[in-house]
Amino acid sequence: MAEPTLTIVYFAWVREDVGRDEERIDRPSSDITVADLVAALAARGGGYAQALGDATKLRAALDQRFVPLETVIGEARELALFPPVTGG
Amino acid sequence: MAEPTLTIVYFAWVREDVGRDEERIDRPSSDITVADLVAALAARGGGYAQALGDATKLRAALDQRFVPLETVIGEARELALFPPVTGG
Amino acid sequence: MKRVSIQPQDFDIAAELAALEALGGGGVASFTGVVRGEGGLIALELEHYPAMTQAQVDRIVEDALGRWPLLGVSVIHRFGRLEPGARIVFVGTASRHRTAALESCAFLIDWLKSHAPFWKKEHFGDGATAWVEARAEDDAKAKGWGG
Amino acid sequence: MKRVSIQPQDFDIAAELAALEALGGGGVASFTGVVRGEGGLIALELEHYPAMTQAQVDRIVEDALGRWPLLGVSVIHRFGRLEPGARIVFVGTASRHRTAALESCAFLIDWLKSHAPFWKKEHFGDGATAWVEARAEDDAKAKGWGG
């Protein structure tokens, strides 16, 4: 059984705009994609709209692996949203 | 005017076989090559023959620059004879 | 020897290199990245994704071990607030083959600079801040290693 | 910064790297060669051509400075009798561009290993000695840099 919730973690300016580094949400249906969820979060408005309104600026990881935004969330426990990494 | 003598320096097993690390000889005529001089030195026999008998095993420098053995000695002050370098 | 550390504190390069030299391979290559203090920069703030970083760096070090005949690899990456002149990242590799040591060192630093889950925020003397944007150039370089 | 030293004594890698880091380029690459103690080797004796070595290494360092945008280069090469584990050679380079630092470091060590006027004699535990022969492989590698 999948966890009843999904943890979302934010980094860099996504974190700053959203105003938090982590949150838990009720698990969405398993066939929705990262991009779908990003659109739903952006629709909250405010910092969410600012951070997540333009998905081309975002990158994502599911359970600590980089994935394209078109990936279905499935039973992942953790989604991370962030700008392209800038390394060391 | 060229120096009246030519200094020859030897390294590695060439030095060991010849039995000295340096010597001065009367300057040979300016048109003879390193290979000619190597042959003349080898003709001394003994350690010279052993060290210098097979010119394919030798490398040379004139005034601290690597040169092919066919190079004329000209007015160089120092000839070095040694095996191929083995670096650091 | 395989050592990966993601840490806020500075590190002792001499100790890292001595450990790699002691492996007996004959060749040790290293790269150290240092904060540049340009354009009024007073600090670089490195944020990372802890749950991901260690696992990802472990994986890329294993890739390097599979690709080159290495006796040892050491990777240290700092996070937090770093001032100009401070070390950010260190990669050291040891091998019997100097080309293997040098190439794997280049491969690892290219990966760290372009794919490790770190983000950098610049702090300037006038109070301004700016998140550093990813450079397409770095991506192209890391892709040049294939794989 | 350009530093070339041909010397019998060991050296302080941390000090060399710190000097390169202090140039502010952001990237420092290094390679260290160490004596391998294999096949009963108890010492490596390095002979060189002093009148030639310093000038030749100066020249190749200048070649590197002409080819890559370097802020600093440090080359140290030891001679004399060195035991297993002892450092033989160090190359360190500093640049704003990590590729320049890494490539120039590889170029310099390839040159030193194949063209510097050094000869190595191996001393073994049973009293035997042998002059190391030049390897065609090293020549090919240094030629790969063109020039």
| A64/C56 CB distance under 8 A | yes
Mean pLDDT of chain D: 92
pLDDT tens for residues A3-26?
A: 789 999 999 999 999 999 999 999
Angle between helices D50-67 and D98-115 (to 10 degrees): 150
B/C Cβ contact: 3+ pairs below 8 Å = no
User: Which of helix, strand or coil describes residue B43?
Assistant: coil
Residue of chain C whose Cα is closest to the Cα of D142: C99
Which chains lie within 8 Å of chain A at 3 or more CB pairs, if any?
A: C
| D118/B85 CB distance under 8 A | yes
Say yes or no to pLDDT of C79 above 70. Answer: yes
pLDDT tens for residues B37-77?
A: 999 999 999 999 999 999 999 999 999 999 999 999 999 99
Q: Residue A60 and residue A37: Cα distance in Å, rounded? A: 11
Has residue B88 been placed in a domain? Answer: no
Q: C147 or B38: which carries more pLDDT confidence?
A: B38
* In contact, D87 and D39? CB cutoff 8 Å: no
pLDDT tens for residues C9-58?
A: 999 999 999 999 999 999 999 999 999 988 899 999 999 999 999 999 99
Please state, in angstroms and as integers, the Cα–Cα distance from residue B20 to each residue in B13, B51, B59, D31, D131, following that order.
11, 11, 17, 35, 17
A contacts of C49 (beta carbons < 8 Å): 9, 11, 61, 64, 80, 82
Task: Please compute Rg for chain C using Cα positions.
Answer: 16
Which chains lie within 8 Å of chain D at 3 or more CB pairs, if any?
A: B, C
Give the pLDDT mean for D80-85. Answer: 96
pLDDT at D82: 97
**Which candidate, D43, D126, D123, places its Cα nearest to that of D85?**
D43
* In contact, C123 and C108? CB cutoff 8 Å: no
D contacts of B9 (beta carbons < 8 Å): 49
pLDDT tens for residues D90-124?
A: 999 999 999 999 999 999 999 999 899 999 999 99
Sign of CA dihedral A13, C141, A56, A10: negative
Biggest alpha carbon distance in chain D?
50
Residue A49 pLDDT class (50, 70, 90 cuts): very high
Say yes or no to pLDDT of D147 above 50. Answer: no
Q: D47 or C140: which carries more pLDDT confidence?
A: D47
CATH of region C2-143:
3.90.1170.40
Mean pLDDT of chain C: 92
Q: Residue A46 and residue C55: Cα distance in Å, rounded? A: 34
**Which candidate, C68, A76, C94, places its Cα nearest to that of D30?**
C94
Has residue A50 been placed in a domain? Answer: yes
How close D120 gets to chain B, by Cα (Å)?
A: 6
How close B35 gets to chain D, by Cα (Å)?
A: 20
Residue ranges making up the domain that contains A45: 5-82
- B61, with CB counted inside 10 A (0-12, 13-18, 19+), is buried
Apex C58 CA angle, C20 and C106, nearest 5: 60
How close C87 gets to chain A, by Cα (Å)?
A: 10
Give the pLDDT mean for D45-62. Answer: 95
Mean pLDDT of chain A: 94
Q: Residue D124 and residue B5: Cα distance in Å, rounded? A: 40
pLDDT at D35: 95
* In contact, D46 and D79? CB cutoff 8 Å: yes
* In contact, A49 and A16? CB cutoff 8 Å: no
Has residue B34 been placed in a domain? Answer: yes
Q: What percent of chain D has pLDDT over 90?
A: 85
Has residue A38 been placed in a domain? Answer: yes
Interface pTM (ipTM) of the complex? Answer: 0.85
Sign of CA dihedral D138, D139, D141, D142: positive
Say yes or no to pLDDT of C76 above 70. Answer: yes
* In contact, D128 and D81? CB cutoff 8 Å: no
Has residue B73 been placed in a domain? Answer: yes
Number of domains in chain A: 1
Domain ranges of chain C: 2-143
Say yes or no to pLDDT of C67 above 80. Answer: yes
DSSP string, D38-93: -TTEEEEEEEE-HHHHHHHHHHHHHHHHHHS-EEEEEEEEE-EEE-TT-EEEEEEE
* pTM of the predicted model as reported, rounded to 2 decimal places: 0.88
Give the pLDDT mean for D9-34. Answer: 96
A67: domain CATH number? 3.10.20.30
Give the pLDDT mean for D4-31. Answer: 96
pLDDT tens for residues B5-44?
A: 999 999 999 999 999 999 999 999 989 999 999 999 999 9
Within 16-55 of A, beta carbons closer than 8 Å to C belong to none
Q: What are the start-end ranges of the E strands in A3-85?
A: 5-10, 22-26, 59-62, 65-67, 78-82
Q: Residue B12 and residue C12: Cα distance in Å, rounded? A: 39
In this complex, how many residue pairs, one in chain A and one in chain C, have their CB atoms less than 8 Å apart? Answer: 64
Q: Residue D121 and residue A32: Cα distance in Å, rounded? A: 69
Residue C147 pLDDT class (50, 70, 90 cuts): very low
Residue D143 pLDDT class (50, 70, 90 cuts): low
Amino acid (1-letter code) at residue C67: R
Amino acid (1-letter code) at residue C9: Q
pLDDT tens for residues D121-137?
A: 999 999 999 999 987 65
How close B46 gets to chain D, by Cα (Å)?
A: 20
Has residue A68 been placed in a domain? Answer: yes
In the sheet with C70-78, reading across from the earlier edge strand, the strands are C2-7, C70-78, C87-95, C27-34, D27-34, D87-95, D70-78, D2-7
